[in-house]
A and B are shown apart, each in its own frame.
Chain A
């Protein structure tokens, strides 16, 4: 900003050699040195533990590497094995896409819908309801409560409840039956998913200019749905973008919940996801090249979905 002033005012420079691009850059770099120093600690760690690992992972996916021998270049072989010879990966991919298609949009809509309803309440009730919806996602690993609820014996709450109603006579092995296990993991994932984006939505809703709504009424907005589409959603576009990124990333990365509830590996891989597949090859079988290929596919999926969703969200309120 203030950098430019001295340069342009350095008056009639008849004698001057043409200023090279390189010397301009050097000057800019020198004048911004304090900014680089301020950013250095964060950026060093960020590159060390995020950017460089991603780069290593991309590179390693073309190698055969087991931590013992030197990496051996194998080209696209890891990828072809992944898609052509690995049936478990295809199950994992199918499950992950199911999570992405079900929990992603559902949790995103739930985040917005509940934030929107809560916004109509008086401040005190609003605070309480925010806590009610946000608490599960920050209460750490209390999802083992769900282990008790879906426990396979008659002490499990779901079994006890259904048996008392007479719906079932024998306790159901909820978490050891491939018919139920994926659905249960999805429910618990939804329970946990009202996190950062939910908070961002609530806060965003509170900053919408009320005079916009009044102006809209004059222009013929008749009900809350029109208000939602023409005023609320467009005013919240930045938060909606942010929320989409957070929810998409979370729904593609389901792993801990699946492991905690369904075990690792889950019965007949019924709740296997790309991330649990990655853990399997990375931390158990030490096939690092192959695991990196899985990670790269996951990265591509997340990035692709994010870019696509961002494009869709631009159309809101048009």
Chain B
């Protein structure tokens, strides 16, 4: 009996397991799982609801007559604004791609020496990186603004892209992952006459590809969701997220469009995560904080 139920739930047989407790734990998982996922399913449903269904009373969860009208409306609406939609998309793509790719490159380059060698200052630098994991960027918001304006970067994309290149969590994860690369591999390359840059680029980097994906999955949603913060004021430099949240704030008449926007904003990072899931897990396993 129990073995059949186990098979249905896809539970592999384990040692020391009481079946009743298993069922209770899975029930717990189910209840909280629905709490997590229902708002997202609701967002998907809403995006396909025609206007009359959005304002039905009492409100319904599922869509009855799905329509793509909301998306068509969104495109129409964006076509009428004086900054074309393509401009917002280009801004967001520029920030996201440069920010993510640059972060992976810079964090890896900095992580390699810290992971594999000891040299004057290496311990101190790594301790500072660890310490900086322990506070939120809000602490530095104001001096950051002063540094930006001193550099003359206010109202440029650089003010979003450049700080995101040196995100301490990325360096930390990359270092933990690189420590697992066998020293013998690096020694062999050295004997063959490769210099440090060559070793980094042709041996270390290809070996940490799963870690790239992890940094990507952490960095991408943050940049994808940026609205320019307090640094970008010009309309034609604003991001897709900013433009779309303007529409959402348009109020009741645009509720359908707002729902379509919500779906568009969440679908991209989630898709990225689904694609990279297994590799991301592999990296996270090595991400221990050193005692």
Binding site for B on A (CB under 8 A): 1, 25, 28-29, 31-32, 34-36, 38-39, 41-46, 48-54, 56-57, 60, 110, 113-114, 117-118, 120-122, 124-125, 127, 129-136, 138-142, 144-146, 148-149, 154-157, 160-161, 163-164, 191, 194, 196, 199-200, 202-204, 206-207, 213-214, 217, 221-224, 226-227, 237-239, 241-242, 245-246, 248-250, 252-253, 255, 275, 278-279, 282-283, 288, 291-292, 295-296, 298-299, 302-303, 306, 314
The reply to whether the CB of B4 lies closer than 8 angstroms to some CB of chain A is no
Q: Is the CB of A145 within 8 A of B142?
A: no
Q: Hey, which chain A residues are within 8 Å of B134, CB to CB?
A: 245, 248-249, 302-303, 306
Binding site for A on B (CB under 8 A): 9-12, 14-18, 21-22, 25-26, 28-29, 32-33, 35-37, 39-40, 42-43, 46, 55, 57-59, 61, 106-107, 109-110, 112-114, 117-120, 122, 125, 128-129, 131-136, 138-144, 146-147, 162-163, 165-166, 168-169, 171, 195-197, 200, 217-218, 221, 224-225, 230, 241, 245, 248, 262, 265-266, 269-270, 273-274, 277-278, 280-285, 287-291
What is the bound-complex CA distance between A35 and B125, given in angstroms?
12
Taking a contact as CB atoms closer than 8 A, the residue among B28, B106, B135 that contacts A45 in the complex is: B106
Taking a contact as CB atoms closer than 8 A, the residue among A135, A238, A298 that contacts B270 in the complex is: A135
Q: A146: nearest residue on chain B (CB-CB)?
A: B39
Taking a contact as CB atoms closer than 8 A, the residue among B12, B32, B140 that contacts A122 in the complex is: B12
Given contacts A51-B128, A131-B273, contact A255 B138 (CB under 8 A): yes
Taking a contact as CB atoms closer than 8 A, the residue among B26, B118, B146, B284 that contacts A203 in the complex is: B284
Among B107, B135, B288, find the residue whose CB has the most chain A CB atoms closer than 10 A: B135
Q: Is the CB of B284 within 8 A of A199?
A: yes
Q: Is the CB of B58 within 8 A of A196?
A: no
Q: B263: nearest residue on chain A (CB-CB)?
A: A142
Q: Is the CB of B25 within 8 A of A117?
A: yes
Q: Is the CB of B281 within 8 A of A49?
A: no
Q: Hey, which chain A residues are within 8 Å of B107, CB to CB?
A: 42
What is the bound-complex CA distance between A144 and B273, given in angstroms?
21
Given contacts A39-B125, A291-B142, A299-B139, contact A144 B248 (CB under 8 A): yes
Taking a contact as CB atoms closer than 8 A, the residue among A36, A138, A154, A202 that contacts B273 in the complex is: A138
What is the bound-complex CA distance between A34 and B139, given in angstroms?
33
Q: Is the CB of B36 within 8 A of A200?
A: no
Q: Is the CB of A54 within 8 A of B140?
A: yes
Additional A-B contacts beyond A199-B280, A245-B289, A246-B133 (16; CB < 8 A): A38-B112, A38-B196, A42-B107, A45-B106, A45-B163, A45-B165, A45-B166, A50-B140, A117-B28, A133-B36, A155-B59, A221-B16, A238-B288, A249-B133, A292-B142, A299-B135
Q: Is the CB of B289 within 8 A of A204?
A: no
Q: Is the CB of A142 within 8 A of B288?
A: no
Q: Hey, which chain A residues are within 8 Å of B289, CB to CB?
A: 238-239, 241-242, 245
Q: Is the CB of B266 within 8 A of A139?
A: yes
- Distance (Å) between the CB of B288 and the closest chain A CB? 2
Q: Is the CB of A52 within 8 A of B143?
A: yes
What is the bound-complex CA distance between A31 and B245, given in angstroms?
52
Q: Is the CB of B136 within 8 A of A253?
A: yes
What is the bound-complex CA distance between A121 and B14, given in angstroms?
11
Q: Hey, which chain B residues are within 8 Å of A160, CB to CB?
A: 57-59
Q: Is the CB of A161 within 8 A of B125?
A: no
Given contacts A45-B163, A122-B12, A144-B248, contact A282 B141 (CB under 8 A): yes
Q: Hey, which chain A residues are within 8 Å of B119, CB to CB?
A: 28-29, 31-32, 35-36
Given contacts A121-B11, A122-B10, contact A50 B114 (CB under 8 A): no
- Distance (Å) between the CB of B291 and the closest chain A CB? 7
Taking a contact as CB atoms closer than 8 A, the residue among A60, A136, A239, A299 that contacts B143 in the complex is: A60
What is the bound-complex CA distance between A27 and B181, given in angstroms?
27
What is the bound-complex CA distance between A66 and B265, given in angstroms?
37
Taking a contact as CB atoms closer than 8 A, the residue among A43, A127, A224, A245 that contacts B16 in the complex is: A224
- Distance (Å) between the CB of A186 and the closest chain B CB? 14
What is the bound-complex CA distance between A110 and B31, given in angstroms?
13
Q: Hey, which chain A residues are within 8 Å of B35, CB to CB?
A: 191
Q: Hey, which chain B residues are within 8 Å of A127, CB to CB?
A: 277-278
Given contacts A120-B14, A295-B140, A303-B134, contact A200 B287 (CB under 8 A): yes
Q: B103: nearest residue on chain A (CB-CB)?
A: A42
Q: Is the CB of B269 within 8 A of A217?
A: no
What is the bound-complex CA distance between A125 and B12, given in angstroms?
12
Q: Is the CB of A135 within 8 A of B277?
A: no
- Interface pairs A-B: 4 shortest CB-CB: A238-B288, A253-B136, A35-B113, A122-B10
What is the bound-complex CA distance between A249 and B135, given in angstroms?
6
16 A-B interface contacts by CB (under 8 A) = A29-B119, A32-B119, A38-B110, A39-B113, A46-B171, A53-B140, A120-B25, A130-B277, A136-B39, A142-B266, A146-B39, A199-B281, A238-B289, A242-B288, A292-B142, A296-B139
Among B28, B166, B224, B225, find the residue whose CB has the most chain A CB atoms closer than 10 A: B166
Given contacts A217-B15, A249-B133, A292-B142, contact A191 B117 (CB under 8 A): no
Q: Is the CB of B58 within 8 A of A164?
A: yes
Q: Is the CB of B117 within 8 A of A42?
A: no
What is the bound-complex CA distance between A264 and B238, given in angstroms?
23
Taking a contact as CB atoms closer than 8 A, the residue among B109, B141, B283 that contacts A42 in the complex is: B109
Q: Is the CB of B196 within 8 A of A249?
A: no
Q: Is the CB of A53 within 8 A of B39?
A: no
Taking a contact as CB atoms closer than 8 A, the residue among A45, A132, A148, A221 that contacts B36 in the complex is: A132
Q: Hey, which chain A residues are within 8 Å of B171, CB to CB?
A: 42, 46
Q: Hey, which chain B residues are within 8 Å of A130, CB to CB?
A: 277, 281
Q: Hey, which chain B residues are within 8 Å of A54, CB to CB?
A: 132, 135, 139-140, 143
